[in-house]
Structure 1
Amino acid sequence: MKVLFATYPMAFHTPGGGEIQLLAYRKYLPAHGVEVTLFDQWNPRFLEHDIVHFFSCVGGSVHFCNFIKQLGIPLVVSSSLWITEETKHLYPVGEIKHQFALADRVVANSDTECEALAQVFELPREKFATVYNGVEHTFYEPVAPELFRDQFAIRGPFVLNVGNIEPRKNQLTLVRALKATPEVKLVLIGHQRDPDYARACFEEGGNQVMYLGHLPHDSVLLRSAYAAADVFCLPSTLETPGLAALEAHAAGCPAAVTEVGSTQEYFGDSVSYLHPTDVESVLSAIQSALATRGCSRRSNSLSIENRRLDWQSALAALHTIYRSLV
């Protein structure tokens, strides 16, 4: 089976979780008998593939998807979208609904997300299918926290946030929450997707904030950062559910995670939850997670069938979806 992967043109300028997911699919699907090609606009080769899988529903994506359906090729769309009746006014709902209607199957990362998408866009529930996110097996393997602390000369307690710096990731609220604990540093790792927003975070945080830039996803320093952190905090305004949080959890790092999105379907009662617009809630969740830091590192089993997630097993569901369309 041959599958062509495509996404919007700017996606890999500042890659985030969606792009890591795409590359993980590409890496692990061959073990399921799926040959993956990345779309090349100079040599598209559409008709050489059994399926086209498009990642994202960023504005304009519907035109590419419509062309695929005109060619008569089965289309799968990965949504990576958390939307509700209360927030749908923030999105081009008509265009996204058109894109989803074109798709033979829309892949979401949780049953919760599937239910929300079907309801908001008034589309049949059976159009949506869950493929849970996975974690690279290396994040489950122990690594010395000293590697990270020594590399960046970090000695005291710190809260870690890994992700693109932008309003949706909500780092500014995290900066404000941690002002109540000035002895605790905030370490930020990721691209500056919104430079003005990033500048506001750095200015308000002052010396309490350490911005380390981007670390490669396969870097041992990133794994060491999860091992070294006192708490990993994901205060996003929405998550589906956040690969960095899954990686931190796999490493056994105590975590404070947004309650908005599909996080509870993944983490169950193994993390502390926060409301992203409430500074006090963010601080309380961090303090709750900090209280567990002196104990042994938490279990890295998730609430999904009480097991560890890895890409190899997670993608069995995607292979089943592909087979049903060919």
Structure 2
Amino acid sequence: MSQARAKVLFITSQGAFQLYGGAETALIMLKHYLEKKGIICRIYSYEDNFHDYDIVYLHNVSQFPIEAFRLVQLAKSAGARVISSPIYWSSFESALEYGVGIKKFAHLIAYLISVFVSKTGIDFGLQSSPRLMKLALEQSDLVIVNSNAESELISRHFMIPKRKIRVVYNGVDPNIELADPKIFMNKYDISDFILYVGRIEPRKNVLRLIKAFNKTALDTHLVIIGRPMQEFYKYYWDLCLKEAAKNPKKIHFLGSFKYSSELLKSAYVSARVFVLPSFYETPGLSAIEAAVAGAKLVITNRGCTREYFSDFAIYVDPLSVESIAKGLIKAYHSPVNEDLKRHILTNFTWEKSGDQFIKIIKSIV
């Protein structure tokens, strides 16, 4: 079948676009690029029938593993090829951050059980999420990951043979660097600040970030753009607010901005330093965007961050407030390194990601 006639159906979790983040951005940008290349793409709705598509692409399977397993079976029975993208990382350290008291203990036990089940497939007939995710990946025609590090993890945790795994790197819109910094500065009267963009939740390590910023005593501001996940982690949001209250004139929670908004792009180009001290990142789309915008980058040393940012970022230990504080101070007083921007634009654009995906489509259709 020719590339121009290929039809791709994207499926993600039902709540994905209610909690819009990097995974959803990646899906939309990939869809737009494929459409520019003549490939027919749709995001799944009740009107779609798997028989009408060449490829069914399950995006962010780790967020809906039970349904994904059934969807793989239905798609393959309809004659479609199935590609699954798990967007998966497993972190014992991150598991320790969730909940308090007995809830923290329960979360840790659940994590240890999930690691066992995902590797062995043994769940004693419970039809658990880790087992069904393993089966969904096993029964897919190909598995797409966004780094070699994730490939290693998927192969090791779910025993997926590497011959089935393909790496498609995340990308960035090069035009972000053309944004107007005055838009953000005129609205908030803040410049040369430290910027964080992402959800406010335990994995993102925002509480330690705030503590680290307070520890630095830098004469600047910490701007936090993102949605507090109060529905799930209200206790964590309350802790962040309590710590930020120690420095109310310097720490600003601005809520979430739309991904395509000129205000968000303006924030990127206005920032002096961008920080993402999460317990892991794969690799963090906001960090890629900030790098292209010209910000100096302070980022976690967990996940696949080094695969994307090489030696051009300052890496910090997410468990250490001291490490994060030192990273902020070092970045703030360092000169801008144009090599970071060149490195990202040379290796990680949505055009390159789309071209990689098209090659994969051609190989199985």
Distance 1:297 1:231 in 2: 14
The question of whether the paired residues in 1 share the 8 Å contact of 2:216 and 2:329 is answered with no
Query: Aligned in 2, Cα 1:74/1:84: closer, same or farther, shift over 3 Å?
Result: farther
Unpaired runs of 5+ residues, structure 1, are: none
Unpaired runs of 5+ residues, structure 2, are: 1-5, 96-110, 115-128
Residue 76 of structure 1: SS of its match in structure 2?
A: strand
Query: Equivalent residues in 2 for 1:30-109 (5 A)?
Result: 30-41=35-46, 43-56=47-60, 57-58=62-63, 59-60=65-66, 61-83=68-90, 89=112, 91=114, 92-109=129-146
The structure with the largest helix share of the pair is 2
Amino acid at match of 1:172: L
Give the deviation of 1:166 after TM superposition. 1.4
Deviation string, structure 1 residues 188-213 (Cα, Å, up to 9, x no partner): 11222345133321221121321111
Give the match for residue 205 of structure 1. Answer: 244
Distance 1:248 1:173 in 2: 21
Give the deviation of 1:308 after TM superposition. 4.6
* TM-score, length-scaled by structure 1: 0.91
Query: Aligned in 2, Cα 1:83/1:218: closer, same or farther, shift over 3 Å?
Result: same
> How much is the aligned-residue C-alpha RMSD, in angstroms?
2.1
Quick one: which of 341, 351, 355 aligns to 1:300? 341
Deviation string, structure 1 residues 154-210 (Cα, Å, up to 9, x no partner): 25x521110111111111110111111343322111222345133321221121321
Quick one: which of 20, 26, 29 aligns to 2:34? 29
Give the deviation of 1:77 after TM superposition. 0.9
Tell me whether 1:275 sits opposite 2:317 in the alignment: yes
Query: Aligned in 2, Cα 1:296/1:67: closer, same or farther, shift over 3 Å?
Result: closer
Distance 2:180 2:36 in 1: 31
Amino acid at match of 1:300: K
* TM-score, length-scaled by structure 2: 0.82
Give the deviation of 1:71 after TM superposition. 2.6
Equivalenced residues, count: 320
Distance 2:160 2:347 in 1: 32
The question of whether the paired residues in 2 share the 8 Å contact of 1:52 and 1:73 is answered with yes
Task: Between 263-272 and 314-323, report the one with greater CA deviation.
Answer: 314-323
Residue 171 of structure 2: SS of its match in structure 1?
A: coil
The question of whether the paired residues in 2 share the 8 Å contact of 1:83 and 1:117 is answered with no
Residue 188 of structure 1: SS of its match in structure 2?
A: strand
Query: Aligned in 2, Cα 1:321/1:308: closer, same or farther, shift over 3 Å?
Result: closer
The question of whether the paired residues in 1 share the 8 Å contact of 2:296 and 2:337 is answered with no
Give the match for residue 314 of structure 1. Answer: 353
Distance 1:54 1:136 in 2: 23
Give the deviation of 1:98 after TM superposition. 1.1
Quick one: which of 307, 328, 334 aligns to 1:265? 307
Task: Between 265-274 and 59-68, report the one with greater CA deviation.
Answer: 59-68
Q: Would you identify which runs of 4 or more consecutive aligned residues in structure 1 move more than 6 Å?
A: 84-88
**What percent identity do the matched residue pairs reach?**
32
The question of whether the paired residues in 2 share the 8 Å contact of 1:256 and 1:273 is answered with yes
Residue 153 of structure 2: SS of its match in structure 1?
A: helix
Query: Aligned in 2, Cα 1:121/1:270: closer, same or farther, shift over 3 Å?
Result: same
Deviation string, structure 1 residues 89-130 (Cα, Å, up to 9, x no partner): 374432221111121111111112112211221121011100
The question of whether the paired residues in 1 share the 8 Å contact of 2:222 and 2:252 is answered with yes
Give the match for residue 256 of structure 1. Answer: 298
Tell me whether 1:130 sits opposite 2:173 in the alignment: no
Query: Equivalent residues in 2 for 1:184-223 (5 A)?
Result: 184-194=220-230, 196=234, 197-206=236-245, 207=248, 208-223=250-265
Tell me whether 1:14 sits opposite 2:56 in the alignment: no
Distance 1:90 1:79 in 2: 19
Deviation string, structure 1 residues 234-289 (Cα, Å, up to 9, x no partner): 01111110100000001110010111111101100111001111111111111221
